[in-house]
Each structure stands twice: as C-alpha cells, then as structure tokens.
Amino acid sequence: MIPNSYAIFVILGVVTGSGRAATPISLSLGENHDYLVQGRLRKKGRKQVKYGNMAVDQCEEYCYKFGTVCADSDFFDESCMEDCLKFPRADTAPVYDLSFNPVDLGSDTINCRAIHLSFAIEFGGGGDLIEARKSADAAFHCGHASPGGEGICTDYSDTGVDDSPFRLMQRGGNYKYGACRITSDRTVANCMRSDLDDDSAADALKVLPSSVEHIFLHVNSLTRVPKNLGTNFPKLKSLYLDGNSIESVDASDFDGLRRLEILSLNVNPITYLPEDLLTEVRRLKTFSFFVPSGYGTSISNIPKNFFQYTKDIVNIIMYGHKGLTEFERGVFNDLKEVRIISFVDCSFTFDGFPKGVFDDLVSLEYFDFFLNDFSGKIPGDLFGSWARKVFRIVFWGNGNLNGIESGAFDNLRNVKKIFLHGTGIGADDVANVYVPSSAEVLTI
C-alpha cells in the first residue's frame, strides 16, 4: 500500500501497441497540490511542462518505495510526486528505461536517484522494503535518492539545484539540431547516445551555435576529447563526456574554456591525469571522474599541483580508482571552498594520508572513503580543526577497521552521521570515545 502522505489515485491509460493512450491521469499529490496530467501535458499556472505517462508511472514507483524505505517527507519541498516529476531524465539508456548504467551513478537525474534508492533496498533489505527501512544503507542512500541529491545526484549550479545543467535541458525544450538536440534558447546541447565517434562528433559540434553553455556527450564512441571546444563554445559552463572510450586527456583539450564549471569524465579508461590538465579551467566547481567497481582501469596518482589553478572548486568525485593508495602532500592546498571529497572504492590506507593533507579543506562537508583498505583504528589526529563543518563521514565497508583512537571525533562540531557499518568497529568502541551529541553513528 502506498503511504498516506503519498496518496495517489490513478485512472490508468489503455495499453496499446504504441504504449499508453493519452487518457487523463488524476493525481492527488498532497495538500494543495492537485493537478491533471493529461497525455503528455501538465499545466500549472502559466507554465506548461511535458510529462509522459511513463514518467508518471516512474514517479509512482519511486514515491512508494521512497516513502516506505526512507520515511522522511522533509526531503520534499512540495509532494514527492511533484518533486519527482521535475527530476531530469537522462538519455543514457532508452527513454524511461531505468536499468542500471554506471554513468548514472552521479548527476541531477531521476536515473541517479532510482539507482541509489535501489541500492538502499537491495543492500539494506535484500529487496524487502520494510527491512531496508531499518538499515544503515537506507540512511546513506536515501539522501542521494532525495530531491537535493546530497552531493552526488546533483550538479553544481551557482543559482541552486533548480538551475543545474540537466534541469535547464529538461525545461528548455528539445529541438533536433543535426545529430544533437538543443534547447529553445540555444544554450544546452544534448548529444547523448547519438552514435558519435571522433569524426562524427566533430561534425556534430561544428554546426552547433556558439551560444551553447552546456554539452552532454554521454554514451558515445569517443576516444578523445573533441578539439577546439574553447574556440567553438566560448561560453561553455559544463562538459559531460561520460561513458565513452577516452583513454587520455591533455591540457590543450580544454584551452579557452575559461568559464567551465563542470568537467565530467566518468566511466572512461583514462589512466593518467597530467599535472597541468586544469590550467585553463580556473572557474571549475566540479571535477568528476569515477569508474564503476571492476571497470579494469584506474589512475594511480593525483599530481600534487593538479588542483593548483582551481581554487574555487567545490566537488571532487573520484571513486572506483583501485590504483589510488595515497595522496601527495599538498594536493588539496588552498582549496578552501571544497564541500565534497568522494574517494569511494579506492585503495587508501591511513598511511596514504600525509600529515596536514586535509588542513585547507575548511569548508568540507562530505568525507566519503568507504570500501577502501583502512585497517586498525581511526587515528586520533585525523580530523583536525579543518573538520568543523564536516556533516557526514563514511568509512563503511572497511572490514579491517577495529577501533577508534581517543580524540578522533573531538573537532567534529557539525557532524550528523558517521557510517561505520561493515567494519570491525562496534557500539562499545563508539561508547569509549567522544562523539558529538548531534551525530548518529551507524555500526551495524
């Protein structure tokens, strides 16, 4: 049964050979949120937003599962259905197909949220929604499945989540433009799953207007970064190259992209990051380069000066790199705006954290290092005065952790959740050290 807070009354369309007929669907979306979704058009005030019936079906399932497993309506500004219908839908798989695609593990999409919700259910309850509700996995993944995305299912925007590149794409219309599609204001180019190789991508990008600010090139067959991006798109703010076959990158690939804020290289077989790669992109806010577990390739080093020109960077997301065992001293120097560092499923040990390596991360909120190779006790001096804004700490899945040194959590003034499940640390270990009263510590 769907929880009362997400009560939905649906008059289902007739299933035909071409999909559902455009029968009106009446939704009770919660207090003061009654709308009519008719076929593909929903009206609210002066705005008209297109939603397919499949999108409605998606959101019914999402809201039922979220309401059962996550049980926290505070995640939603309006109702679950209303917020869900605003989530962008990525073209990384056939339309409305939410089957798992590694490139969907990040970004502001329904795809990403659905994946993390499924993780909460499968890992937390073995497929049982009620069992999952009690789990640490739900406590972790529900935040990513929520409208805000909690740092993972979102993208940087200087005006807030409602203006993320994916949302601009969704709101801006969808007009064929050569091999790609662009928005009506000619600022967003969607070239996902367009069967582009290096040559055809060059042709496709050549005809796009120079006004384009966001380019999506997910799931094509690129082996290199397209050339002359800075010349052709001087206003470019975000570049998504996820799910291609790019093996190497060079600083010259990004010449002239002085306004770039998001660079996403996820799920590409890149094994080396040049020290000067980000020299031209000094306004960068998000650098995302993750690979799925078992991908087969990995970088083994982040150069000491890799981020030296990106002093305003906010998000560093680089999980899945099994070749990463340590940071170079100084790699995070002067990065005082960083909120997220996510190095999940790498091979770090505490010996791989040089003394003072995190000292300049004074705005950090998310410290994510689960599924690494940590062992022994969490060091007492790991979280220095720099950690006073840290909101979440994740060490789960580090099975060789077996304790916490005295003083380890003394500087955590703002922490709300510390994830230690899947380690050898138990409730007794937690009871023997100072833990801020604001924190929930999950050890099971």
168-177: average pLDDT:
87
Model confidence at 161: pLDDT above 70: no
CB 24: neighbour CB atoms within 10 A? 10
Q: DSSP letter string over 355-414?
A: TTTTTT-TT--EEE--SS--EEEEPTTSS-GGGGG--EEE-TT-TEEEEE-TTTTTT-SS
Q: DSSP letter string over 77-143?
A: SS-HHHHHTTS---TTSSTT-----GGGGSSSSHHHHHHHHHHHHHHHHTT-HHHHHTSHHHHHHHH
Model confidence at 19: pLDDT above 70: no
Query: Quick one: pLDDT band at residue 82, thresholds 50, 70, 90?
Result: confident
Predicted TM-score (pTM) of the model is 0.85
Q: How far apart are CA 123 and CA 27, in angstroms?
A: 31
Above pLDDT 70, what percent of the chain?
A: 82
Phi, psi for 361 (deg, rounded to 5): -85, 60
Gyration radius of the chain over CA positions: 22
Q: How far apart are CA 347 and CA 325, in angstroms?
A: 5
In one-letter notation, the amino acid at residue 230 is G
Query: Quick one: pLDDT band at residue 257, thresholds 50, 70, 90?
Result: very high
Model confidence at 35: pLDDT above 90: no
In this structure, what token pair is assigned to residue 109? Answer: 């999409």
pLDDT at 54: 59
pLDDT at 104: 75
pLDDT at 184: 94
Lowest mean pLDDT among 102-116, 325-339, 406-420: 102-116
Model confidence at 172: pLDDT above 70: yes
CB 12: neighbour CB atoms within 10 A? 12
Model confidence at 29: pLDDT above 70: no
369-391: average pLDDT:
97
In this structure, what token pair is assigned to residue 442? Answer: 């999950």
- pLDDT tens for residues 385-441? 999 999 999 999 999 999 999 999 999 999 999 999 999 999 999 999 999 998 999
Higher pLDDT among residues 205 and 25, named by residue: 205
Above pLDDT 90, what percent of the chain?
A: 64
Model confidence at 255: pLDDT above 70: yes
Q: How far is CA 114 from the centre of its chain?
A: 12
Reduce the DSSP state of residue 17 to 3 states and report it: coil
Buried b (16+ CB within 10 A) or exposed e, 115-139: bbbbbbbebbbeeebeebbebbbbb
Model confidence at 124: pLDDT above 80: yes
* Residue 43 CB partners (closer than 8 Å, separation 6+): 35, 36
Mean pLDDT of the chain, nearest integer: 83
Lowest mean pLDDT among 12-21, 174-183, 201-210: 12-21
